[in-house]
Amino acid sequence: MTTQPKILLIYTGGTIGMVKDYTTNALKAFDFSQISEKIPELAQLDCNITALSFDTLIDSSNMNIANYVQLTGMIEENYDAYDGFVVLSGSDTMSYVSSAISFMFENLQKPVVFTGSQLPIGHLRTDAKENLITSIEIAAARKNNAPVITEVCLYFEYKLYRANRTTKINAEQFEAFTSLNYPPLAESGVHLTFNDALLLPSVTAQAPLIVRKQLNSHVVILKLFPGIRPEVVASILAIPALKGVVLETYGAGNALTDAWFVELLETAIDKGIYIVNVTQCAGGSVLMGHYETSLGLKKIGVVNGKDMTTESALAKMMYLLGEQLDKTTFKAIFETSLRGEVS
């Protein structure tokens, strides 16, 4: 006889937790402690569900490093008492938040599944119920008395993705997220089917959970465009206390070869600013040095972001900057897969 898995729901804020007050027609936050009344289907799941909420609910547009630490702290405090975690948040920044959380947890041995919705939970045509029910089912899934998932994931519209591989691509369709450089970890249809070969391997049971909370937010995203002016790039690289730049280049990591551009980047790198090259394309990878237009970046020490998403590269940079690494170690670790973020 096996005991029912214990799942902790954590509501941070966002569309999924809103219901309409029919006396005022305004949306208000839903009390997730009453979740079984709103979604009686949860009683059919073979697990025990407990709900917690942020004391102050956060619209996902207002998410910041302090909220990341708060969320990881809640999971850390309850880690031994629960078998899986489902985080409910706004979808607008979910890829950024879930990517960061994936790097903050080292030696994770339990599922952390992010989900949300495009329509509030009380809406007639809401996608919230299916997303929530299946996310809980995923978090509770076990095989050989061990959790199937042991990483940070994002579930939306019948697909489970590795969180740090995702990008939000649509503000209106229920299929709001995609993961172009890595296939879904699971798909929900008539059956919930896991793609076992794609999952991160479990860490040894003896490895203790480590939570990395020293993120450094002195970073910026610099997206190139034809006609970008020297004073724009110079002003960004001159931001006080700047530590890292995620450089969104063209195609396979290509950038303008004008002397002023390369010189500005080289000066910044010499000052100790880390610059990581990721592609603006929704899918594909940076191939540093493949074309002459990226050879100059490689020569001056720009870090290769490979096929990382911008969201994941930003999160990984915040994490590694907080670890106070030397330049060689930073580059080596950044270009290596830590949580399945790089192919």
Across the chain, what does the average pLDDT equal? 92
Q: Do residue 136 and residue 226 come from a single domain?
A: no
Which are the catalytic amino acids?
A: 15
**So what's the pLDDT on residue 33?**
67
> Which of 154, 185, 211 lies at the terminal end of a domain, its last residue?
211
Q: Do residue 197 and residue 114 come from a single domain?
A: yes
Provide the terminal-to-terminal Cα distance of the chain, rounded to the nearest Å: 40
Dump pLDDT digits (tens) for 285-307. Answer: 998 877 777 788 999 999 999 99
User: What whole-number distance in Å separates Cα of residue 155 and Cα of residue 219?
Assistant: 28
Structural domain that includes position 88? 6-211
For the domain that residue 155 is a member of, what is the CATH number?
3.40.50.1170
Q: What are φ and ψ of residue 144, in 5° steps?
A: 55, 40
Q: Do residue 167 and residue 203 come from a single domain?
A: yes
Beta 18-21 vs 142-143: how paired, if at all? Answer: unpaired
* Residue pointed to by tokens 């950024």: 96
> Is 342 domain-assigned?
no
Q: Looking at the predicted structure, is the pLDDT value of residue 209 above 70?
A: yes
More confident residue, 141 or 125: 141
> Which of 211, 237, 258 lies at the terminal end of a domain, its last residue?
211
Structurally, the chain folds into a number of domains equal to 2
Q: Do residue 57 and residue 197 come from a single domain?
A: yes
**Residues 130-144, mean pLDDT to the nearest whole number:** 95
* Helices 94-104 and 310-321, packing angle to 10 deg: 40
Its pTM stands at 0.94
* Helices 310-321 and 327-334, packing angle to 10 deg: 150
* Residue pointed to by tokens 């080596």: 332
Q: Looking at the predicted structure, is the pLDDT value of residue 1 above 60?
A: no
User: What whole-number distance in Å separates Cα of residue 178 and Cα of residue 188?
Assistant: 15
Q: 255-263: long-range contacts (C-beta < 8 A, 24 or more apart)?
A: 255/224, 255/293, 255/294, 255/296, 255/297, 256/224, 256/228, 256/293, 257/292, 257/293, 257/296, 260/230, 261/230, 261/233, 262/296, 262/297, 262/300
